[in-house]
């Protein structure tokens, strides 16, 4: 039998075939690993009293009284009615679905499916659908030219060939030891679940494979970079470095520095992640490493994700390190030819001990005299391959230190940064005023604007973050512009307001940010682009519109833009109070936030938002144990590599790109 091709499937012509290819689907087997993004579980209903905010629920009951319609403004009408099970009541709200006036008549017995949301202080179902089909119904993400239903149809066809398409990848021992189900069964169940329990087992198996493959790849790469520059850090060196600092190192900083010292002394190449909240003092730790390297005759390259950040680093580096005779220099993309030439000479001759820059640091033409350490600030902008490329420039493998202000719970850090050792700094250096965070209900919006005006009149500055732009909605630029218009014509009239957003051209972006940091503008209307790399100590307020739509970790990152000066800072969250916003008000500790975020969303979603492009963990369970199991299994596989050659090579193949793509948002 010749192999069945995608083009053999009913409904697949040239146009759709192209779309599938563009979506990374080339074979029927690829199609079978296009898993549903969600499921609609209408197999069971739950009592109304069990309905919790955020859950997707299937409920049954009777419509209590005739629905009412409200015409709010042109283009917006709202139908309201109430569902009851005889004891409890659940409000139903439909936006722009006037036909429900007839559909949801009083006394109708009905089964509904939808998401329970908080609306004006109570739990409601917004736009729930009437359930026709009971069961666990998969939902596929549409791709261009191929809608959800078509996707379902072609997957249905592919499932007929599952026996020849899916080959078991794990040995019987592994399957048994970790209580997994066979791959074929898992794939079938994931697409066509017969019950909630079997779907869970199926997801568990697929998640296990995902993590296992990834961990195998990570462990494999890690094993390669063994030998490193050995140097010993003396007490004198430690004391000398401490003496350079205008402050006393905190316990957390000392601990992190001693982790690095141990790595330097080990003779193996360091691969360390230093994670700590914004402002926790990672720079002082990183510069200790620079100092030790310099003393031992080696150079350090420090890569920043943006030029703005590179400039900030060079400033503080010069202030701190040059008095100790450590020359620091800058190498960035847009330099004048003459400056660049000079910079390259200083790097090659070893005159510069610390080179700070952006991607330009890894361009082919940069040669170092003796590169001993590579530091990347804000890891998320650098793939492993880039790190490797930079490492390749050195004669022996340089040490690598990765700084990250995106705190990740330890267990997950092991998954994501499987190739890195992790040093964690909790808490802040002394003398810092924690940012005060408040949820601002609609009826307090006016007061907030008054507060903002007062702050601005005292020379303080304000970030104003616009709502997230949903895919099909409208462009980011438009949403920022609208917010700008609303504010400058209304509540913040007369103030100097600037705007910036991700897709803005580089020059305007630079200007918007410099105007704001110079105080030419007092309010900066922005999208989440301000997350990275802007440091304006005079900014004391950050307003986040529709905060209830942001993820917890992202809110925390945004909040980190303020609280950098001596004055009290504020974070105002507009939106309905929910668990996430409440957590924001309770703590300023990034690790607590990350743990809470993980608890609310589960590892699957948590990781899901942490990467761009290809989805590495397309299916995950909320099961932390599983992650540990898969890790242990990966260790077994790597140690007994002979027995698992095929598994290892497919893991490497699968993750050679994904490994490069792991990025934090
Ligand atoms: P981040 O971890 O965000 O990179 P920085 O290294 O930029 O944080 O430090 C934030 C601020 O805290 C800087 O102004 C720095 O000088 C200051 N700082 C760092 N360590 C200490 C300390 N031990 N005591 C007092 N201030 C410190
Ligand atoms: Mg920093």
Centre of ligand 2 from the C-alpha of residue 476, in Å: 27
* pLDDT over 80 at 7, yes or no: yes
- Among all bound ligands, the one having the nearest atom to the CA of 425 is 1
Dihedral angle computed from the Cα positions of residues 308, 313, 318 and 322, in that order, rounded to the nearest 10 degrees: -150
Count: domains in the chain: 4
Quickly list H helices, 247-281: 251-266
DSSP string computed for 580-639: HHHHHHH---HHHHHHHHHHHHHHHHHHHTT--SS-S-SS--S-HHHHHHHHHHHHHHHH
Centre of ligand 2 from the C-alpha of residue 286, in Å: 10
Tokens of 362: 């890894």
258 and 400 inside one domain: yes
2 and 92 inside one domain: no
- State how far the Cα of 341 lies from the Cα of 388, in Å rounded to an integer: 24
- State how far the Cα of 486 lies from the Cα of 489, in Å rounded to an integer: 5
Kindly state whether residue 187 falls inside one of the protein's structural domains: no
Domain termination site, one of 73, 105, 130: 130
* pLDDT over 80 at 457, yes or no: yes
- State how far the Cα of 433 lies from the Cα of 214, in Å rounded to an integer: 41
Tell me 227's DSSP state: B
> Per-residue pLDDT averaged across 461-471, rounded?
80
The CATH number for 95's domain is 2.40.50.140
Pick from 283, 377, 277: nearest CA to 593 = 277
* Closest atom of ligand 1 relative to the 377 alpha carbon: 4
Check: CB of residue 321 under 8 Å from CB of residue 244: yes
Indicate which residue's Cα is closest to atom 11 of ligand 1: 279
pLDDT attached to residue 472: 44
- State how far the Cα of 79 lies from the Cα of 68, in Å rounded to an integer: 6
- State how far the Cα of 378 lies from the Cα of 400, in Å rounded to an integer: 13
pLDDT attached to residue 664: 30
29 and 96 inside one domain: no
Check: CB of residue 577 under 8 Å from CB of residue 450: no
Indicate whether residue 282 lines ligand 1 (CB < 6 A): yes
pLDDT attached to residue 471: 46
Check: CB of residue 420 under 8 Å from CB of residue 273: yes
Q: Which residues of 482-502 are buried (b: 16+ CB within 10 A; e: fewer)?
A: ebbeebbeeebeebbbbbbbe
Report the interhelical angle of 579-586 vs 590-608 (nearest 10°). 150
- Among all bound ligands, the one having the nearest atom to the CA of 533 is 2
Indicate whether residue 26 lines ligand 1 (CB < 6 A): no
Q: How confident is the model at residue 148 (pLDDT cuts 50, 70, 90)?
A: confident
Check: CB of residue 562 under 8 Å from CB of residue 542: yes
- Among all bound ligands, the one having the nearest atom to the CA of 378 is 2
Pick from 424, 385, 413, 422: nearest CA to 631 = 413
Centre of ligand 2 from the C-alpha of residue 525, in Å: 23
- State how far the Cα of 571 lies from the Cα of 562, in Å rounded to an integer: 8
Q: How confident is the model at residue 268 (pLDDT cuts 50, 70, 90)?
A: confident
Q: 3-state DSSP call for residue 230?
A: coil
> Which residues make Cβ contacts (< 8 Å) with residue 234, sequence separation at least 6?
none
576 and 553 inside one domain: yes
Kindly state whether residue 539 falls inside one of the protein's structural domains: yes
Q: How confident is the model at residue 188 (pLDDT cuts 50, 70, 90)?
A: very high
Indicate whether residue 249 lines ligand 1 (CB < 6 A): yes
Question: Mapped to the 3 state alphabet, what secondary structure does 135-161 carry?
Answer: CEEEECCCECCECHHHHHHHHHHHHCC
* pLDDT over 70 at 606, yes or no: no
> Which residues make Cβ contacts (< 8 Å) with residue 537, sequence separation at least 6?
564, 565, 566
> Per-residue pLDDT averaged across 458-481, rounded?
78
pLDDT attached to residue 597: 85
- Among all bound ligands, the one having the nearest atom to the CA of 377 is 2
* Closest atom of ligand 1 relative to the 425 alpha carbon: 2
Indicate whether residue 250 lines ligand 1 (CB < 6 A): yes
Pick from 466, 496, 459, 457: nearest CA to 558 = 466
* Closest atom of ligand 1 relative to the 282 alpha carbon: 2
Separation in Å, CA 223 to CA 220, 261, 266, 556, 650: 5, 21, 15, 35, 17
- State how far the Cα of 623 lies from the Cα of 205, in Å rounded to an integer: 12
* pLDDT over 70 at 14, yes or no: yes
Pick from 312, 542, 530, 285: nearest CA to 404 = 285
> Per-residue pLDDT averaged across 404-432, rounded?
80
Among 214-228, 304-318, 353-367, 576-590, which is the least confidently predicted range?
214-228
- State how far the Cα of 387 lies from the Cα of 371, in Å rounded to an integer: 13
How many residues would you count in the chain?
Answer: 665
Helix H or strand E encompassing 22: helix 14-22
Question: CA 652: distance to chain centroid?
Answer: 24
Helix H or strand E encompassing 35: none
Separation in Å, CA 367 to CA 158, 341, 382, 400, 620: 53, 12, 20, 17, 43
What average pLDDT is seen over the chain? 86
34 and 121 inside one domain: no
> Per-residue pLDDT averaged across 403-417, rounded?
76
Kindly state whether residue 175 falls inside one of the protein's structural domains: no
pLDDT attached to residue 225: 56
Indicate whether residue 279 lines ligand 1 (CB < 6 A): yes
Pick from 228, 230, 178, 236: nearest CA to 207 = 178
Range of the domain at 155: 1-43+136-163
Indicate which residue's Cα is closest to atom 22 of ligand 1: 429
- State how far the Cα of 188 lies from the Cα of 459, in Å rounded to an integer: 62
257 and 386 inside one domain: yes
Which of 659 and 90 is assigned the larger pLDDT?
Answer: 90
Helix H or strand E encompassing 475: none
* Closest atom of ligand 1 relative to the 431 alpha carbon: 25
542 and 452 inside one domain: yes
pLDDT attached to residue 506: 80
- State how far the Cα of 106 lies from the Cα of 84, in Å rounded to an integer: 11
Q: How confident is the model at residue 102 (pLDDT cuts 50, 70, 90)?
A: very high
91 and 158 inside one domain: no
Centre of ligand 1 from the C-alpha of residue 258, in Å: 18
Tokens of 134: 């009971």
Centre of ligand 2 from the C-alpha of residue 377, in Å: 7
The CATH number for 526's domain is 3.40.50.300
- State how far the Cα of 557 lies from the Cα of 532, in Å rounded to an integer: 8
Q: Which residue has the tokens 């408040």?
A: 438
Mutate to test the pocket of ligand 1, among 253, 254, 281 (most ligand atoms within 8 A of CB): 281
Indicate whether residue 284 lines ligand 1 (CB < 6 A): yes
Condensed to tens digits (0 to 9), the pLDDT of residues 503-556 reads: 788 889 889 988 999 999 999 999 877 656 677 889 999 999 999 888 888 899
* pLDDT over 50 at 615, yes or no: no
Centre of ligand 1 from the C-alpha of residue 280, in Å: 6
Kindly state whether residue 89 falls inside one of the protein's structural domains: yes
Domain termination site, one of 83, 111, 130: 130
Rg over alpha carbons for the chain, rounded to the nearest Å, is 28
Indicate whether residue 561 lines ligand 1 (CB < 6 A): no
Backbone torsions φ then ψ of 608, nearest 5 degrees: -55, -35
**Terminus-to-terminus CA distance in the chain, angstroms?**
46
Indicate which residue's Cα is closest to atom 16 of ligand 1: 281
DSSP string computed for 400-455: EEEEESS---HHHHHHHTTTSEEEEE-S--SS-PPPEEEEE-GGGHHHHHHHHHHH
* pLDDT over 80 at 413, yes or no: no
Domain termination site, one of 525, 555, 588: 588
Kindly state whether residue 96 falls inside one of the protein's structural domains: yes
Indicate which residue's Cα is closest to atom 17 of ligand 1: 281
> Which residues make Cβ contacts (< 8 Å) with residue 349, sequence separation at least 6?
369
**Bridge partners (DSSP) listed for residue 274:** 403, 423
* pLDDT over 80 at 159, yes or no: yes
Task: Please say whether the dihedral angle defined by the alpha carbons of residues 121, 123, 124 and 125, taken in this order, is positive or negative.
Answer: positive
pLDDT attached to residue 622: 55
340 and 389 inside one domain: yes
pLDDT attached to residue 396: 72
Indicate whether residue 424 lines ligand 1 (CB < 6 A): no
pLDDT attached to residue 657: 47
57 and 36 inside one domain: no
Task: Please say whether the dihedral angle defined by the alpha carbons of residues 640, 641, 642 and 645, taken in this order, is positive or negative.
Answer: positive
Range picked from 51-55, 105-109, 308-312 for highest mean pLDDT: 105-109
Backbone torsions φ then ψ of 82, nearest 5 degrees: -135, 135
36 and 65 inside one domain: no
98 and 120 inside one domain: yes
* pLDDT over 70 at 224, yes or no: no
* Closest atom of ligand 1 relative to the 278 alpha carbon: 3
Pick from 529, 514, 594, 593: nearest CA to 561 = 529
DSSP string computed for 525-542: EE-GGGGTT---TTEEEE
Centre of ligand 2 from the C-alpha of residue 562, in Å: 14
Mutate to test the pocket of ligand 1, among 255, 315, 429 (most ligand atoms within 8 A of CB): 429
> Per-residue pLDDT averaged across 41-67, rounded?
92
pLDDT attached to residue 635: 87
Q: How confident is the model at residue 662 (pLDDT cuts 50, 70, 90)?
A: very low
Kindly state whether residue 122 falls inside one of the protein's structural domains: yes
Indicate which residue's Cα is closest to atom 4 of ligand 1: 282
Kindly state whether residue 621 falls inside one of the protein's structural domains: no
> Per-residue pLDDT averaged across 177-204, rounded?
94
Kindly state whether residue 624 falls inside one of the protein's structural domains: no
Condensed to tens digits (0 to 9), the pLDDT of residues 121-143 reads: 889 999 999 998 899 999 888 88
């Amino acid at each position: 039998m010749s192999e069945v091709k995608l083009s053999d499937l009913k409904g697949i012509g040239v146009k759709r075939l192209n779309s599938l290819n563009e979506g990374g689907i080339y074979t029927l087997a690829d199609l079978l690993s296009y898993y549903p993004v969600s499921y609609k579980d209408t197999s069971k209903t739950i009592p109304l009293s069990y309905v919790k905010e955020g859950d997707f629920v299937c409920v049954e009951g009777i419509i209590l009284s005739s629905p009412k319609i409200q015409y709010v403004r042109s283009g917006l009408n709202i139908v309201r009615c109430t569902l009851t099970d005889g004891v409890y009541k659940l409000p139903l709200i439909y936006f722009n679905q006037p036909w429900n006036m007839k559909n949801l008549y009083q006394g109708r017995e009905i089964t509904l499916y939808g998401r329970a949301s908080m609306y004006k202080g109570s739990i409601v179902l917004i736009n729930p659908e009437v359930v026709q089909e009971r069961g666990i119904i998969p939902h596929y993400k549409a791709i261009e030219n191929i809608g959800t239903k078509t996707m379902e149809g072609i997957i249905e066809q592919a499932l007929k060939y599952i026996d020849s398409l899916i080959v078991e990848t794990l040995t019987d021992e592994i399957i048994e030891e970790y209580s997994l189900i066979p791959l074929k069964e898992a794939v079938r169940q994931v697409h066509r679940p017969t019950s909630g329990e079997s779907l869970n087992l199926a997801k568990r198996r697929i998640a296990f494979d995902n993590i296992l493959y990834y961990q195998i790849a990570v462990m494999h790469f890690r094993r390669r970079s063994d030998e490193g520059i050995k140097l010993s850090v003396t007490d004198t060196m430690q004391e000398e470095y401490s003496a350079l600092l205008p402050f006393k190192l905190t316990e957390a900083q000392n601990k992190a520095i001693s982790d690095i010292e141990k790595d330097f002394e080990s003779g193996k190449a360091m691969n360390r992640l230093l994670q700590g909240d914004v402002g926790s003092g990672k720079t002082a730790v990183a510069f200790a490493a620079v100092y030790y390297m310099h003393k031992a005759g080696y150079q350090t390259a420090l890569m920043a994700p943006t030029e703005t950040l590179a400039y900030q680093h060079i400033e503080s580096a010069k202030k701190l390190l040059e008095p100790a005779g450590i020359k620091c220099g800058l190498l960035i993309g847009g330099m004048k030819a003459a400056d660049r030439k000079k910079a390259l000479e200083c790097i090659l001759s070893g005159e510069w001990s610390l080179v700070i820059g952006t991607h330009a640091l890894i361009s082919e033409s940069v040669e170092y005299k003796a590169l001993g350490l590579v530091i990347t600030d804000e890891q998320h902008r650098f793939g492993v391959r880039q790190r490797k490329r930079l490492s390749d420039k050195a004669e022996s493998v340089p040490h690598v230190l990765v700084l990250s202000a995106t705190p990740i719970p330890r267990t997950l850090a092991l998954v994501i940064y499987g190739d890195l050792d992790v040093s964690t700094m909790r808490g802040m250096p002394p003398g810092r005023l924690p940012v005060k965070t408040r949820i601002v209900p609609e009826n307090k919006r006016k007061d907030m604007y008054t507060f903002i005006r007062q702050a601005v009149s005292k020379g303080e500055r304000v970030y104003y973050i616009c709502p997230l732009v949903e895919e099909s909605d409208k462009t980011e630029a438009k949403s920022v512009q609208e917010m700008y218009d609303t504010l400058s014509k209304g509540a913040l009239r007369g103030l100097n307001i600037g705007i910036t957003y991700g897709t803005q051209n580089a020059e305007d972006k630079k200007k918007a940010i410099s105007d704001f940091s110079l105080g030419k503008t007092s309010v900066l209307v922005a999208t989440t682009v301000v997350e990275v790399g802007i440091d304006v100590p005079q900014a004391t307020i950050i307003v986040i519109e529709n905060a209830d739509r942001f993820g917890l970790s992202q809110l925390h990152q945004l909040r980190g833009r303020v609280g950098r000066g001596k004055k009290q800072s504020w974070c105002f969250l507009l939106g309905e109070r929910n668990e996430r916003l409440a957590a924001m008000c309770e703590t300023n500790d990034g690790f607590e936030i990350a743990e809470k975020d993980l608890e609310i969303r589960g590892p699957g979603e948590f990781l899901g938002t942490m990467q761009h492009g290809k989805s590495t963990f397309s299916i995950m369970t909320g099961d932390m144990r599983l992650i540990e199991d898969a890790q242990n299994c990966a260790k077994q596989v790597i140690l007994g590599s002979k027995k698992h050659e095929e598994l290892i090579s497919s893991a490497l193949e699968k993750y050679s790109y994904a490994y490069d793509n792991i990025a934090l948002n």
